[in-house]
Copies of this chain bind each other. A is one copy, B any other.
Amino acid sequence: MKPQPSTEKIMPQDYYALRRRKLVQKIKKRSLGAFLVSDETNVKYLTGFTGDSTYLIVGKDVEILVSDSRYTTQLQNECPRIESSIKSSSGATLQNVAAILNKLKLGSVGFESGTVNYALWASLQHTLKSTELIPHAGIVEDLRAIKDASEIKETREAIRLAEKAFALLKSGYVAEMTELRATYELESSIRRFGGKGNGFDPIVAVGANSALPHAPPTEDTLGSAPFFLVDWGAMTPAGYRSDLTRMIFTGRILPKLEKIYKVVLKAQGQAIRAIGPGVFCRKVDSVARGVIDKAGFGKNFGHGLGHGIGLDIHENPRMSFLSEMVLKPGMIVTVEPGIYLPGFGGVRIEDDVLVTKDGCEVLSHVPRQLEDAYL
């Protein structure tokens, strides 16, 4: 039977090669001879390599991973199609990068100015002969902002893992459990279901603790107030992450809390409806902010509306009022408005949303109506 192109499976190595090809196009547009990828997650994204301390030099006619002997075998296993240059100690890697660049004589080479530290830059700068280092921030990060089919699948799985763990936490609620223990239980559950672990340090914040947007988990027990906030996510074995927030009401809550819940839910709903290709991220933020402002809580929503998720928990695009970014199909963003009343408590509702060709798809499915928050 003739192979059917439309159902052919793209192999992982093909995804990596495709990403590097896209990077090469960006490099060409910027008239760079090559690009030096040093950020660990960017190297992973472009090659599949899961170790650290490894650089990728990529250009039109060049693809080399520069590493040390700890990773000889792992590089062969994970990146069989990419040439590698290995020195015996990790201390020699940077010099090796410079030696390779000097040998290749590529003219100008872009580097990741948002992650390369000053000392590393100065050292490279000092060692390079005819190669000029050009700072470029966010080139690979911009590629990463638009997820391919394999990444959307991974993100769906990260959400599924998080949702199963949340269901287990909720159904296993005991008043005596501490916030900290609850964060551990989430991770245990995610691992039980096949995930790598939490996607980030989760927030479990009871009562007034929830008024801190980034509340560190404490030894306070879940039953010490009639409500708590859970901001959690999962990481898949391949490293993709989800990020969700829900409130759980374990007792009788004050009308004020119900009120702000409804405002936040409305803000989130309107923001999600505003999401689609070509829309400015700050526009989506302003839709949510408008609802909260109008209800009189503008001052109590002190953070941006959301952010991209993927191999990192905070990725492009940034969904804030300061963002200049525009939504494109394939982006996956969190939508997480919140209202925080110091000393009283906070409400945040967060879902993960995929931008599609003609709008968006909410990837997360934990019910979010007021009545769903009750235990």
* Partner pick for A74 among B91, B120, B216, CB 8 A cutoff: B216
* Pairwise interchain contact B191-A89, C-beta atoms closer than 8 A: no
Which residue in chain B gives the minimum CB-CB distance to A191? B184
- Flag A185-217 by CB within 8 Å of B: 1 or 0 each: 001100100000100000000000001111010
A130 beta carbon closer than 8 Å to chain B: no
Copies in the complex: 2
CB within 8 Å for A216 and B70 given contacts A88-B302, A117-B118: no
A111 / chain B contacts, CB cutoff of 8 Å: 118
A187 / chain B contacts, CB cutoff of 8 Å: 187
Which residue in chain B gives the minimum CB-CB distance to A190? B184
Taking the closest CB of chain B, its distance from the CB of A42, in whole angstroms, is 13
Taking the closest CB of chain B, its distance from the CB of A92, in whole angstroms, is 9
A374 beta carbon closer than 8 Å to chain B: no
A304 / chain B contacts, CB cutoff of 8 Å: 89
A114 / chain B contacts, CB cutoff of 8 Å: 117-120
Taking the closest CB of chain B, its distance from the CB of A323, in whole angstroms, is 9
Compute how far the CA of A211 lies from the CA of B74 in the bound complex, rounded to whole angstroms: 11
A221 beta carbon closer than 8 Å to chain B: no
- Flag A38-54 by CB within 8 Å of B: 1 or 0 each: 00000000000011000
* Partner pick for A91 among B50, B117, B320, CB 8 A cutoff: B320
B-contacting residues, A285-342, CB 8 Å: 302-304, 320, 322, 342
- Of A118, A122, A197, A212, most B-chain CB atoms within 10 Å: A118
A69 beta carbon closer than 8 Å to chain B: yes
B-contacting residues, A151-193, CB 8 Å: 181, 184, 187-188, 191
A115 beta carbon closer than 8 Å to chain B: yes
Compute how far the CA of A114 lies from the CA of B181 in the bound complex, rounded to whole angstroms: 35
* Pairwise interchain contact A116-B117, C-beta atoms closer than 8 A: yes
Compute how far the CA of A115 lies from the CA of B121 in the bound complex, rounded to whole angstroms: 11
Compute how far the CA of A120 lies from the CA of B135 in the bound complex, rounded to whole angstroms: 11
* Partner pick for A117 among B115, B122, B302, B322, CB 8 A cutoff: B115
A-B contact pairs, 15 of them (CB 8 A): A51-B216, A70-B214, A70-B302, A70-B303, A73-B211, A73-B342, A74-B212, A88-B302, A89-B302, A89-B320, A89-B322, A113-B122, A115-B117, A116-B117, A119-B135
**Contacts from A to B (Cβ < 8 Å):** 50-51, 69-71, 73-74, 88-89, 91, 111, 113-122, 135, 137, 181, 184, 187-188, 191, 197, 211-214, 216, 302-304, 320, 322, 342
